[in-house]
Chain A
Amino acid sequence: MSLEAPPGTSAALVANACPVPRVESERVLLGHGSGGQLSAELLREVIVPALGKAARSGAMEDGAVIHVDSHDLVMSTDSFVVNPRFFAGGDIGCLAVHGTVNDLAMMGAMPIALTLALVIEEGFPIEELRTICESVGRAATAAGVPVVTGDTKVVGRGDADGIFINTAGLGSRLPAARPSATRATIGDVVLLSGPIGLHGTTVMSTRVGLGFESDIASDTQPLHRLVELMVAIAGDAIHVMRDPTRGGLASALNEIAQTSGVQICLDEDTIPVPPTVAAACEILGLDPLHVANEGCLVAIVAPEFAGDLIAAMQQTPEGREACAIGHVTDADATRVVMSTLVGSRRIVDMLIGEQLPRIC
């Protein structure tokens, strides 16, 4: 966020202002898990400092690259607590596979192995557990990655909401791939592999019972094959890749802008928002740019490769609607801006906390 103090506000005035009766901040709020500003704050101010020397320094990425002998291995982990557990287009089981496979893929890695850890609430129906595990199995098989180890814990009734799943993934980075949130470069083009907002609005409208659940489905899918194709075409000219999950496209691009120290300019016209997503967001008072995705990626690439990449991506099922949505520019501020429909401009900020539906 690049807001400066208004003119006439000296630093001393701000520092000497009355002690602020701050809204309580010493407890974890739901918003701390939203993938937006609050999540970043919790990592920066609590989790990473508390880890001390054990925390490896460097940019926050979707996974970590570990050099072993001459290989670049990638590790990533993710927990899944989605409610409802079953929704159009998927369920908590396949989501747990896709989420971790995609985190590896965004580091340019192909998955080698997955772990599966289950935390189950006492009284959970065995039949539903079987259904979820079958979904894990199908998704892992389809992605071509074995589940190699796991863990099962049962907690008392009321101590968890049904079932929580954690998966961790080990991957092998493609030799030509070097994507990193630090590498967005002035002149780069921002590519998006498909329409945004499908997963988040599907889950939210199922939860709320908006009544158009039949018209909308989560985009949850593995993206590593698309990444493999993209790396084969453009290699390390793919500077950054992210799957804009929680916090949506706006939060992913803001993180990239901040980490790389650049400005990202988007063109509102070019961002593919499916009509049902747009409608659900209108009703719920949400910004599609803040809504979670589970099956699309945003890539920041050298401009000379953008055309070839889009053409190739459009030949794949995952990237059928791939398009360019903006570019990276020089600016004194690291931020994301968007040209508006009426020809003006606005700043696109990260999601702050939880997405709260508005009154009217």
Chain B
Amino acid sequence: MKYVDEYRDPILAKQLIVEINAAVTRPWSLMEVCGGQTHTIVRQGIDDLLPAGLRMVHGPGCPVCVTPLELIDKACAIAARPDVIFTSYGDMLRVPGSHTDLLSLKARGSDVRIVYSPMDALRMAIEAPDRQVVFFAVGFETTAPANAMAVIQAKELGLRNFSVLVSHVLVPPAMTALLEDPECGIDAFLAAGHVCTVMGWREYEPIAEKYHVPIVVTGFEPLDLLEGILMAVRQLEAGQATVENQYIRAVQRLGNAHAQEAISRVFAVTDRTWRGVGSIPRSGLTLAADYAQFDATTRFDVGGIETAEHPACIAGDILRGVKVPTDCTAYGTLCTPRLPLGAPMVSSEGTCAAFYNAGRGRQAVAASTARS
């Protein structure tokens, strides 16, 4: 497949692995921020081919995983209403809330529908004026522009039966929070290529400088990741800490101005709780005052929700990169993609699911112990 096969070339991949091995002289910990990158690393077994001292730490960049439990519970409460058509991207449906999940509600008769774009939800609202259509607006900066466009159009059309449950999160504040954590121990970041396609990398420059960490904007194919790892390692070995761009075919320093304009028009920055991590200041988006009428949490009374995480789940430590899934006593036993306890086991981009789907069991534990 054009534009994909070029980045999956086995011969080039092996060359890059040789170069990485040659470049590394000391142990380093690299965090790939995005769940899509984790998926490629684990699926291709890239981390198994890296030199012993080079550790990949899997970051918090799976939007499904970090959506707070409270919002999942609110989504379930809204979806259970008979007047509502609840729409969402597919992989949010199986995320466990405190008591149920959206797929189970669907099986009980709630009108829960998978959409591929917020525009599909908007169309449903136009076609079903007697129903309330709610879209679960989750994701990083990547999905925010399209979700913003849906809200802008809803306002232009004067739709009174369309609203969004917003759970957008922002990458740079999360990276800063990780770096402020004394347990962190991350030497360099592979920044998420698609987030940077929208936002550019300007906002990463002060982070690289302040914390003296190399940040490499990286794509999602095997060669992208190997090249990103090599660039980060070379910076570390040379004592540098700048922002570099590996994903040159998609990302420019200033990003996509139109997309950024849509985001800043519809959304305002707010404090946000990340599931498993806790509250991070100014790390999320909420609807700006001009668009507050489209906020599903105020349109439907979903206050007074009490949430309860499963006590065995260590999702927070996994999302912060402090632990790996195989450190968890529930991994593969109480918690599987079939019956997940925590969100990272749900989405294919969640670290636990990525590990489980690649069949990582005891071997992975042995390997990670040997490296640390």
| Contact surface of A with B, Cβ cutoff 8 Å | 1-9, 13-14, 17-18, 20-25, 27-31, 37-38, 41, 208, 269, 275, 278-279, 282, 284-285, 335, 337, 340-347, 349, 352-354, 356-360
Give chain A residues whose Cβ lies under 8 Å from the Cβ of B9: 341
Q: How far is the CA of A27 from the CA of B100 in the complex (A)?
A: 12
Q: Determine which of A8, A27, A357 lies in contact with B114 in the assembled complex, contact meaning CB atoms within 8 Å.
A: A357
The verdict on A342 contacting B13 (CB below 8 Å), with A17-B330, A356-B90, A358-B91 known, is yes
Shortest CB distance B108–A (Å) = 7
Q: How far is the CA of A105 from the CA of B232 in the complex (A)?
A: 55
Q: Are A346 and B91 in touch, CB under 8 angstroms?
A: no
| Chain B facing A: main interface SS | loop
Shortest CB distance A156–B (Å) = 17
Shortest CB distance B277–A (Å) = 18
Shortest CB distance B103–A (Å) = 6
Q: Are B143 and A360 in touch, CB under 8 angstroms?
A: yes
Q: How far is the CA of A341 from the CA of B12 in the complex (A)?
A: 10
Give chain B residues whose Cβ lies under 8 Å from the Cβ of A353: 94, 338
Q: Are B349 and A3 in touch, CB under 8 angstroms?
A: no
B310-344 to A contact mask, C-beta < 8 Å, 1/0 = 11100000000000001111111110111111000
Chain B residues 27 to 61 lying within 8 A of chain A, measured CB to CB, are 36, 42-46, 48-49
Q: Are A342 and B14 in touch, CB under 8 angstroms?
A: yes
Nearest residue (CB) in B for A38 is B338
Q: Are B332 and A4 in touch, CB under 8 angstroms?
A: yes
Q: How far is the CA of A3 from the CA of B36 in the complex (A)?
A: 23
Nearest residue (CB) in A for B358 is A346
Q: Determine which of A7, A17, A37, A208 lies in contact with B338 in the assembled complex, contact meaning CB atoms within 8 Å.
A: A37
Q: Are A347 and B359 in touch, CB under 8 angstroms?
A: yes
Q: How far is the CA of A358 from the CA of B88 in the complex (A)?
A: 10
Shortest CB distance B284–A (Å) = 16
Q: How far is the CA of A349 from the CA of B361 in the complex (A)?
A: 13
Q: How far is the CA of A269 from the CA of B100 in the complex (A)?
A: 41
Give chain B residues whose Cβ lies under 8 Å from the Cβ of A17: 312, 329-330, 334
Give chain A residues whose Cβ lies under 8 Å from the Cβ of B362: 4, 6-7
Q: Are A344 and B365 in touch, CB under 8 angstroms?
A: no
3 closest Cβ contacts across the A-B interface? A344-B45, A347-B359, A356-B90
Q: Are A356 and B93 in touch, CB under 8 angstroms?
A: yes
Q: Are B312 and A360 in touch, CB under 8 angstroms?
A: no
Q: Are A14 and B338 in touch, CB under 8 angstroms?
A: no
Instruction: Check B89 for interface membership: any CB of A closer than 8 A.
Output: yes
Give chain A residues whose Cβ lies under 8 Å from the Cβ of B94: 23, 353, 356
Q: How far is the CA of A345 from the CA of B1 in the complex (A)?
A: 22
Give chain B residues whose Cβ lies under 8 Å from the Cβ of A278: 1, 4
Give chain B residues whose Cβ lies under 8 Å from the Cβ of A31: 103
The verdict on A23 contacting B340 (CB below 8 Å), with A208-B116, A359-B63 known, is yes
Shortest CB distance B4–A (Å) = 7
Shortest CB distance B35–A (Å) = 9
Give chain B residues whose Cβ lies under 8 Å from the Cβ of A359: 63-64, 89-92, 138-139, 143, 347, 349
Shortest CB distance B229–A (Å) = 12
Instruction: Check B249 for interface membership: any CB of A closer than 8 A.
Output: no
Instruction: Check B357 for interface membership: any CB of A closer than 8 A.
Output: yes
Q: Determine which of A208, A344, A346, A357 lies in contact with B89 in the assembled complex, contact meaning CB atoms within 8 Å.
A: A357
Give chain B residues whose Cβ lies under 8 Å from the Cβ of A340: 43-45
Q: Are B310 and A358 in touch, CB under 8 angstroms?
A: no
Give chain B residues whose Cβ lies under 8 Å from the Cβ of A28: 107
Q: Are A342 and B116 in touch, CB under 8 angstroms?
A: no
Q: Are B4 and A360 in touch, CB under 8 angstroms?
A: no
Nearest residue (CB) in A for B34 is A360
B56-95 to A contact mask, C-beta < 8 Å, 1/0 = 0000000110000000000000000000000001111110
Instruction: Check B298 for interface membership: any CB of A closer than 8 A.
Output: no
Give chain B residues whose Cβ lies under 8 Å from the Cβ of A282: 1, 4
Give chain A residues whose Cβ lies under 8 Å from the Cβ of B214: none
Q: Are B143 and A23 in touch, CB under 8 angstroms?
A: no
Q: How far is the CA of A310 from the CA of B103 in the complex (A)?
A: 43
Q: How far is the CA of A352 from the CA of B103 in the complex (A)?
A: 14
Q: How far is the CA of A177 from the CA of B93 in the complex (A)?
A: 45
Q: Are A20 and B13 in touch, CB under 8 angstroms?
A: no
B90-106 to A contact mask, C-beta < 8 Å, 1/0 = 11111010111101101
Q: Are B10 and A24 in touch, CB under 8 angstroms?
A: no
Give chain B residues whose Cβ lies under 8 Å from the Cβ of A358: 89-91, 347-349
Nearest residue (CB) in A for B98 is A21
Give chain B residues whose Cβ lies under 8 Å from the Cβ of A37: 338
Q: How far is the CA of A346 from the CA of B354 in the complex (A)?
A: 11
Shortest CB distance B318–A (Å) = 13
Q: Are B91 and A342 in touch, CB under 8 angstroms?
A: no
Shortest CB distance A216–B (Å) = 13
Q: Are A30 and B103 in touch, CB under 8 angstroms?
A: yes
- Of the A-B pairs whose beta carbons lie under 8 Å apart in the complex, a sample of 28, sorted by A's number, is A1-B359, A2-B359, A2-B361, A6-B365, A14-B333, A17-B330, A21-B98, A23-B96, A23-B339, A30-B106, A30-B107, A208-B116, A284-B116, A285-B90, A340-B45, A341-B8, A342-B222, A343-B13, A346-B358, A347-B358, A347-B359, A349-B359, A356-B91, A358-B347, A359-B63, A360-B63, A360-B140, A360-B142
Give chain A residues whose Cβ lies under 8 Å from the Cβ of B2: 275
Instruction: Check B194 for interface membership: any CB of A closer than 8 A.
Output: yes
Q: How far is the CA of A315 from the CA of B138 in the complex (A)?
A: 51
The verdict on A27 contacting B107 (CB below 8 Å), with A3-B361, A357-B116, A358-B348 known, is yes
